[in-house]
Structure 1
Amino acid sequence: MSFRKMSLLLAASVAVLTVTACGSEPEPQTTGAEVATLQSAPVGAPASAASAATGDGAVIRPDASSAEIHDLERAYFKCLRDNGAPSSKDGVTEPGRPSPAPETVRAAEVACADKQPVSWFDVERRTNPEFPDLLRTAAGCLKKKGFQARVVETPQWRLAYRDSGEFMRAGDTEAQCVDEAFAARIKTYR
């Protein structure tokens, strides 16, 4: 599964959770600066070890299949349901049925945090202080292949393109360049 497809699948899952939690109060903003630290698992450690080391949920490996990602999502949504927060994603809520209280949703999210699927790339973004440099390497690779890619920091470190057409054309090439730039880091998630 390509990096882009995995990211879109993950974004769709997060959107479902956001809709489920509508009406809840936003998390308080932190005012102190946060410093990223490298807390990854040793090379060759399984994804669960990487997950435990970073405090993330179920880390989606770079080589995960659609079926494996679906299994991770299913386990997460089952946990939410078991903790009182069903969602339309798992087919449990019925149209017209009231949504669970925001407090119930928040409590279920906390209880299931260790099962929430999270992309290895997002783990790297939050924990690896070398992430911006590796992303610049990926942008350089894309430029060599004819794309006008650049790295932007806000709202989060990411690759950006000249326009949406170029963004759409970059798909598989971006995945290859990211894989090349992050090759040493990817090994820690397999």
Structure 2
Amino acid sequence: MRIKTSLVTAGALAALLLLAGCTDARDKESADVATLRSGGPAPATTPSAATRERPVVRPDEGGDVFDRYVEVFNKCLNGEGVAGPKQDRPDLKKYERNKEAARKCDHLYPETWMERERRTNPEFADLLRETARCLVDRGHKVTVGGDPIAIRYEDNAGANKAYEDEQDCQRKAFRESVENYRKGGS
């Protein structure tokens, strides 16, 4: 009986050692794989053009700043073999080469602070209505509507006449955002 117990104990011990050996081998294999994966620095990742924010022309900046941003955009397009626009943003969807250039350069085309507000500020429509009320108080005939929502004038002459007042009314209605842009935020 003693021999039988010794054989069972030896068999159990051998099984444990074998199991331990397998576990140890698996751990070493896992460690090797983990070491291989994490052995070097992670590859540098750059955000895609779709996630990068376009530069913003702030309320205290003028057309010269916009033009400088457009120059950078045009240089990028030229580097991709596409002629850039003189002023207006080009429609780059016509040719495949243009689509590739747009993917690489579009994040460089500037947007005005009001365009950024339209895209990001959930209170945009209300603040635009406040701007319109200010304009009406100053004697301009305006409405708010459309898609995208905007201030609408009866004609171009009315819009031209109201230009300075509109800038002032926007700054008043969007005062918190304007202050944020002045502090360097967006």
Normalising by the residue count of structure 1, what TM-score does the alignment of the two structures yield? 0.61
Once residues 88 and 187 of structure 1 are traced to their aligned partners in structure 2, the CA distance between those partners, rounded to angstroms, is: 32
Compare the two structures and name the one with the higher helix fraction.
Answer: 2
The 1:104–1:87 alpha-carbon spacing in structure 2 relative to 1, beyond 3 Å, is same
TM-aligned CA deviation for residue 84 of structure 1: 1.7
Please say if residues 56 and 113 of structure 1, whose CA atoms lie closer than 8 Å, have aligned partners that are also in contact: no
Letter in 2 for 1:89: K
Counterpart pick for 2:101 among 103, 108, 117: 108
* Amino acid in structure 2 at the alignment position of 1:179: R
Corresponding position of 1:80: 77
Question: Which of the residues 64, 67, 82 maps onto 1:67?
Answer: 64
Tell me the residue number matched to 2:7. Answer: none
How many correspondences in the alignment?
A: 128
Checking the alignment, whether the CA contact within 8 Å between 1:56 and 1:118 is kept in structure 2 is no
Q: Percent identity?
A: 33
Unaligned runs of 5+ in 2: 1-48, 88-93
Q: What pairs with 1:110-125 in structure 2 (closer than 5 Å)?
A: 110-125=103-118
Deviation, structure 1 residue 160: 0.9
CA distance in 1, matches of 2:85, 2:106: 19
Q: 124, 129, 145: which is aligned to 2:122?
A: 129
Equivalent in the alignment of 1:171: 163
* CA-CA distance at 1:125 after TM superposition: 0.7
8 Å Cα contact 2:127-2:174 kept in structure 1: yes
The 3 A distance-change label for structure 1 pair 165 and 88 is closer
RMSD: 2.3
| Cα distance, 1:88 vs structure 2 | 5.6
Secondary structure of 2:162's match?
helix
Q: SS at 1:156's partner residue? A: coil
CA distance in 1, matches of 2:68, 2:85: 17
Asked if structure 1 preserves the Cα contact closer than 8 Å seen for 2:128 and 2:151, the reply is yes
CA-CA distance at 1:55 after TM superposition: 4.1
Compute the displacement of 1:62 (Å).
1.4
CA contact (8 A) 1:138 1:174 kept: yes
Larger Rg: 2
Which secondary structure does the structure 1 equivalent of 2:83 belong to? coil
Q: Contact 2:74/2:85 (CA < 8 Å) preserved in 1? A: no
Distance 1:155 1:55 in 2: 25
Residues 118 and 106 from structure 1, CA distance in 2 versus in 1: closer, same or farther, beyond 3 angstroms? same
Judged with a 3 Å threshold, the aligned counterparts in structure 2 of structure 1 residues 131 and 82 are, in CA distance, closer, same or farther, namely: same
- Residue-by-residue CA offset, 1:94-124 (whole Å, 9 max, x unaligned): xxxxxxx711111111101221111111111
Question: What TM-score does the superposition give when structure 2 sets the normalisation length?
Answer: 0.62
State the 1:150 CA deviation.
1.6
Q: Structure 1 unaligned runs (5+)?
A: 1-51, 91-100
